[in-house]
Amino acid sequence: MQKSASLSETTVPSPDDEPLYVGGPRIYQQSVKGRLRTIKWAVLFVCLGVYYFLPFVRWYRGPNQPDQAVLVDLANNRFYFFFIEIWPQEVYYFTGLLVLASLILFLSNAVAGRVWCGYLCPQTVWTDLFMTVERWIEGDRRERMLADARPMTAAKFGRLALKHFVWLMIAWWTGGAWVLYFADAPTLVKDLATFQAPMIAYVWIAILTFTTYALAGLMREQVCLYMCPWPRIQAALTDQYALNVTYRYDRGEPRMSVKSAAKARAAEEPAGDCIDCRQCVVVCPTGVDIRDGSQMGCIQCGLCIDACNTVMTKVNRPLGLIAYDNDVNITRRAEGLEETYPIVRSRTVLYVAMIALVGLAMLYGLMTRSFTDLSVLHDRNPLFVQLSDGSVRNSYTVRLLNKRPLHRIFVLAVDGLPQARATAVGIPNTEIGWPLIEVAPDATREVIVHVTAPNAASLPASTDVTFRITELGSGERVSSRDHFIAR
């Protein structure tokens, strides 16, 4: 007995015994209609439409060239985007694109807060789609809550199974569309259907099916709350003038029923417009209460604005109790000042200027991009070879790049060494004394080039030389600098 007494004394859980992770409450989002919901539908259709169908858009580039508008050709080291073809060494265009994307994200944040989170983020778009499917199959908020509280029946099980099946189908199509960006889409679709596609395609489809299903179907707002870095960064980048989905508490408080508010107004006592109907909470995809103020859980999709406006219409009060507004206006209204929405601010101007700068730099880079390139690598072992008559030879590995879809012939010449001769292995020399090198369309060619200087004794230990290739016909030329080692 004494033992059990001591047991009961000591089984009080210490704080260390509590679980470190508490599962989020299940969110039953209610459907909502309104202007912002319509915009969200439009964005959803456009984004998913682009994602699912873009690989099938064709773009003619010439014979023996892929005709897929957007293609990441990893096997051949090429990236195609409509009229642009990027080679691996030009990957800095992607860096520029990422810089541009982040600056645009910062600008959108300075203007309208987490507009990316609310409308454009793939997590939001796919979660929205999955929630819509859930509503179609299991019914709206109330029906889903009732069904979840009831014991399992065949009908309920059937609905759940159907929901997960449709989710998996969407997820599978998402993974399927992903791999289409990496190979010729129509061919790959045929190969996938006949089980002849490469294993890696199936593996990637499986991975993306799983991530889509897990992230959009099961984890949802947990991704925004626990996994995504943007809400943390965003909070540090925003200011008091950024438009945010805002509950205008100066207008809404104190909350009271429609009847109480009518009485209060009649008695000229303070009466808020908020009737505490909680419509803003039930339509929220992350389950936050916007009336608690700006918070990390709020992805600013604006669905609570639609919900509140519907209610305000019904109770015959002005719209916009919840609206896109900024922090400054709350205090300004309290002080009786006019509302202010300054879009042109130092930070937005700065972001626009940076976007213009990076954009122009990229545009300039693309416009003046060379379709020919040359790289020269001096042999490291040996650095030079002495010949029988005392002359000296250096060997180089020279790579010519032809980014045009045509066969092109270049003359390779070496400047900077008087009386020097150059020979390329496997290529007969011409009458002019320099080798003529043919490069296949959209390809590179590596040749070993031997440069011989006859009067080596009079040369310094190292001489700067310039390798120059000139295209026959067009005269387009590119050069590359290197050294000639004489001793």
Partner 1 sequence: MANHPPEIDAATGRSTTGHEWDGIKELNSPLPKWWLYVFYATIVWSIGYWIVYPAWPLVTGYTKGLFGYSSRESVVVELDALKALRASRSTALASASLEDIQRNPDLLTFALAQGKAAFGDNCAPCHGLSATGARGFPNLRDDTWLWGGSLAEIRQTIAHGVRTGDDRSRQGSMPALGGPNGVLKRDEVITVANYVRSLAGLSVRQGTDLAKGKELFETNCVACHGADGRGNRELGAANLTSANWVYGSDEATIVETINNGRGGVMPGWTGRLDDTTVKALTIYVHALGGGQ
* Interacting residue ranges for partner 1, rule: CB under 8 A: 3, 6-7, 10-11, 381-382, 385-390, 393, 395, 425-426, 445-446, 448, 450
C-beta neighbour count of 341 within 10 angstroms: 11
In whole angstroms, the minimum distance from the beta carbon of 423 to partner 1 comes to 9
In whole angstroms, the minimum distance from the beta carbon of 431 to partner 1 comes to 19
Specify the residue, 211 or 455, whose C-beta has the smaller distance to partner 1: 455
Specify the residue, 106 or 410, whose C-beta has the smaller distance to partner 1: 410
In whole angstroms, the minimum distance from the beta carbon of 429 to partner 1 comes to 13
In whole angstroms, the minimum distance from the beta carbon of 452 to partner 1 comes to 9
Specify the residue, 382 or 418, whose C-beta has the smaller distance to partner 1: 382
In whole angstroms, the minimum distance from the beta carbon of 485 to partner 1 comes to 14
In whole angstroms, the minimum distance from the beta carbon of 12 to partner 1 comes to 9
In whole angstroms, the minimum distance from the beta carbon of 379 to partner 1 comes to 8
Specify the residue, 301 or 456, whose C-beta has the smaller distance to partner 1: 456
Specify the residue, 67 or 438, whose C-beta has the smaller distance to partner 1: 438
Phi, psi for 417 (deg, rounded to 5): -125, 110
Please state, in angstroms and rounded to a whole number, the distance separating the CA atoms of residues 460 and 485: 8
Contact 175, 205 (CB under 8 A): yes
In whole angstroms, the minimum distance from the beta carbon of 35 to partner 1 comes to 52
In whole angstroms, the minimum distance from the beta carbon of 438 to partner 1 comes to 8
Please state, in angstroms and rounded to a whole number, the distance separating the CA atoms of residues 363 and 369: 10
In whole angstroms, the minimum distance from the beta carbon of 22 to partner 1 comes to 21
Amino acid at 176: G
In whole angstroms, the minimum distance from the beta carbon of 61 to partner 1 comes to 24
In whole angstroms, the minimum distance from the beta carbon of 448 to partner 1 comes to 6
Q: Which of 301, 322, 290 is closest to 125 using CA atoms?
A: 301
Q: Which of 55, 438, 27 is closest to 223 using CA atoms?
A: 27
Specify the residue, 247 or 410, whose C-beta has the smaller distance to partner 1: 410
Specify the residue, 369 or 445, whose C-beta has the smaller distance to partner 1: 445
How many alpha carbons lie under 13 Å from residue 222 in its C-beta half-sphere? 14
Q: What is the 3-state secondary structure (H, E, C) of the chain?
A: CHHHHHHHHHCCCCHHHCCCCCCCCCCCCCCCCCHHHHHHHHHHHHHHHHHHHHHHCECCCCCCCCCECEEEECCCCEEEECCEEECHHHCHHHHHHHHHHHHHHHHHHHHHCCHHHHHHCHHHHHHHHHHHHHHHHHCCHHHHHHHHHCCCCHHHHHHHHHHHHHHHHHHHHHHHHHHHCCCCHHHHHHHHHCCCCCHHHHHHHHHHHHHHHHHHHHHCHHHHHHHCCHHHHHHHHCCCCCCEEEECHHHHCCCCCHHHHHHHHHCCCCCCCCCCCCHHHHCCCCCCCHHHCCCCCCCCCCHHHHHHHHHHHHCCCCCCCEEEECHHHHHHHHCCCCCCCCCCCHHHHHHHHHHHHHHHHHHHHHHCCCCEEEEEEECCCCCCEECCCCCEEEEEEEEEEECCCCCEEEEEEEECCCCCEEEECCECECCCCCEEEEECCCEEEEEEEEEEECCHHHCCCEEEEEEEEEECCCCCEEEEEEEEECC
Please state, in angstroms and rounded to a whole number, the distance separating the CA atoms of residues 260 and 266: 10
